[in-house]
Structure 1
Amino acid sequence: MSKDYYAILGVSRSASDAEIKKAYRKMAAKYHPDKPTGDESKFKEISEAYETLSDAEKRSMYDQFGSDYQQRGAGGFGGGGFGGGADFGDIFGDMFGGGGGFAGGGFGQQQARPRKGEDQTVKVMVSLTEAVEGTERTINVQTGNPHSSSYSYDTTPIKVRIPAGVTQEQKIRVKGKGFSGFNGGPNGDVIIQVNLQKHPHYRVEGKDVYLDLPITPWEAALGAKVEIPTLKGKVKMAIAAGTQSGAKLRIKGRGLGTEPGNQYVIVQIHTPPAATDEDKALYEKMAEQMPFNPRADF
């Protein structure tokens, strides 16, 4: 009985080469014997259809004589296996990561070569202090080969070192701890992606750290030496007399990174409340004694 190769691939008789190839790739990915949804009989059938329809000469013969065209001198599937124009190496190289031929061999293809397993990415949250000093984490990674029909989502714990100086979204590679290799190939790697926790006082921009520093009006007016917290301990900083709110001061090398950025201090002048009559009297005296209009240029 003649087979309807177009119906097998789910395409029309006027389908383009690209449409035929796309349909085959989709079905082959589903029914390949190494897949959990694999069906060897179905896979052979769609491969036979693609072998014919992907070759212009064979397709023309098929359109005239049906699937018995091989017996009319065209050569092809019944005689020479997957020869002709079907580029199965290219298709399966794309589908299964390269290597020529597909896993399991068979159907006239060469035996698949060993290939490295897939990498897997794990996001790890660290504090700013841990980012500066380094830390360790125990993480769970998936094991086995996710493309195997017997794959189960098992995990195993591994201990990883987060080195000092990491920054937001930095990636750290742990060799050989990823998914299992194909056909005896090496395991993939685990990629640790660092995410920095938000801090109640510091803001991070790249390798630089920002801190809003509250000071009093008299510290701003008269100048002062104040103690500034940093991720590497406290430092003394001079506030110059006459410093205005919003002034940006730099502490060199107190940021993040293996070659550390800087910490920037943004001055914020905080005014004490006039909570008592005496406080109000003091503010009134200041207004009389130091007339000052910051909106004079408006």
Structure 2
Amino acid sequence: MEFKDYYKILAIDEKANASVIKASYRKLARKYHPDVSKEENAEAQFKEVGEAYAVLKDPEKRAEYDLLRAQGTYRSAGGSYQPPPDWQSSHAGNRTHSQRTDENFSDFFDSIFGAHGSDFRQAEDFQRSTNRRGRDLHYKIALFLEEAFVGCQRQIALRVSEPDQNGSIKQRDKTLNVKIPAGVTEGQHIRLTGQGELGIGGGKAGDLLLEIEFAPHPYFTVDGMNILLTLPVTCWEAALGSTVEVPTLRGKVKLKIPQAANSGNKLRIKGKGLISKGGEISGDQIVTLQVSLPKERSSEAKALYRQLAECESHFNPRQAFER
């Protein structure tokens, strides 16, 4: 049986304190974890690191181990090791055959301390504690309203942190093609399971959370599920009433402008707003009229405006100011 130098296995000095021991164990456990390591014999080295930590983290076990290590009896002929004939560990009284777990600890450990089941469970619990879930990533994605309405596929680029084969954290660029379902709304989060950062020590990968934003639109704005549009109309369309074409997310529709309409009047087009996923909720399109005049007018048009002013001379839109 070979003597195991636990200090050498953890790559620490024999005078290392508890924090140094713990830090070295965490680093090596990440390096050799079979789920992520590319090292040769990673599984065997991972078990050795766990065994060394189980001894050196425990002050009593460490003291017993240091005593045996100082005796140098492991340097016997052939390099084989046997504890002194009168050796009795303070932990040996807890030994039971049913607690024996060769997959976790070596014969060397067993010969000194016995297969102490609680020690195995403590070491396994600590190993599980290093199996940390990867960090969730958050990414804002700006969509045009038309893309949010019908759904789309977009490519996004991320920079993620991942442990390399030595346990060091490195940055890596990652590209994903993501499918955006129809009916997303601003501020909504889409969770892509397992597309976040890798876990440590075999832990699950984190998720990617996409937060939906709406890119500025040339003429639409959003209010909840409603689409807002400011619609320019001519003075004669507003005065006489008219039917005009209006853009919506579903294409152009006919909208009737009532007679004597004014700037600021709001007209509602039912069901032409945003639609929730599944179609249970549908917003409207709210159209706000804005009466516009041509910047350049012909002499004939000016004459008609003068004639209109004479015909409507009784109308004073500022009458309220004169009270």
TM-score (norm 1): 0.62
Structure 1 residue 155, shift from structure 2 partner: 1.9
Q: Structure 1 residues 257 and 215 mapped into 2: Cα distance closer, same or farther (>3 Å)?
A: same
Aligned match of 1:111: 127
Aligned match of 1:285: 307
Unaligned runs of 5+ in 2: 1-9, 23-57, 63-121
Amino acid at match of 1:296: Q
Aligned match of 2:265: 247
Q: Structure 1 residues 80 and 250 mapped into 2: Cα distance closer, same or farther (>3 Å)?
A: farther
Q: Distance in 2 between matches of 1:43 and 1:120?
A: 33
Structure-to-structure mapping, 1:115-264, within 5 angstroms: 115-143=132-160, 145=162, 149-258=167-276, 259-264=281-286
The two structures, once aligned, show a CA RMSD in angstroms of: 2.9
Runs of 4+ in 1 over 6 A off after TM superposition: none
Structure 1 residue 282, shift from structure 2 partner: 1.3
Structure 1 residue 119, shift from structure 2 partner: 0.9
Amino acid at match of 1:290: E
Unaligned runs of 5+ in 1: 1-32, 34-39, 48-76, 82-104
> Kindly, what percent of the aligned residue pairs are identical?
40
Q: Structure 1 residues 133 and 42 mapped into 2: Cα distance closer, same or farther (>3 Å)?
A: farther
Q: Is the 8 A contact 1:224 1:238 kept in 2?
A: yes
Q: Is the 8 A contact 1:249 1:264 kept in 2?
A: yes
Aligned match of 2:112: none
Amino acid at match of 2:137: Q
Where 1:145 maps in the other structure, the secondary structure is strand
Aligned match of 1:265: 287
Amino acid at match of 1:135: C
Q: Is the 8 A contact 1:142 1:179 kept in 2?
A: no
* Structure with max Cα Rg: 2
The count of corresponding residues between Structure 1 and Structure 2 is: 207
The range that moved more, 134-143 or 154-163, is 134-143
Q: Is the 8 A contact 1:142 1:178 kept in 2?
A: no
Q: Is the 8 A contact 1:141 1:178 kept in 2?
A: no
Where 1:272 maps in the other structure, the secondary structure is coil
Structure 1 residue 183, shift from structure 2 partner: 2.5
Q: Distance in 2 between matches of 1:237 and 1:290?
A: 28
Structure 1 residue 109, shift from structure 2 partner: 7.8
Amino acid at match of 1:282: L
Q: CA offsets, 1:27-60, max 9 Å, x none? A: xxxxxx9xxxxxx95762699xxxxxxxxxxxxx
Structure 1 residue 273, shift from structure 2 partner: 4.0
TM-score (norm 2): 0.57
Where 2:153 maps in the other structure, the secondary structure is strand
Structure 1 residue 289, shift from structure 2 partner: 1.2
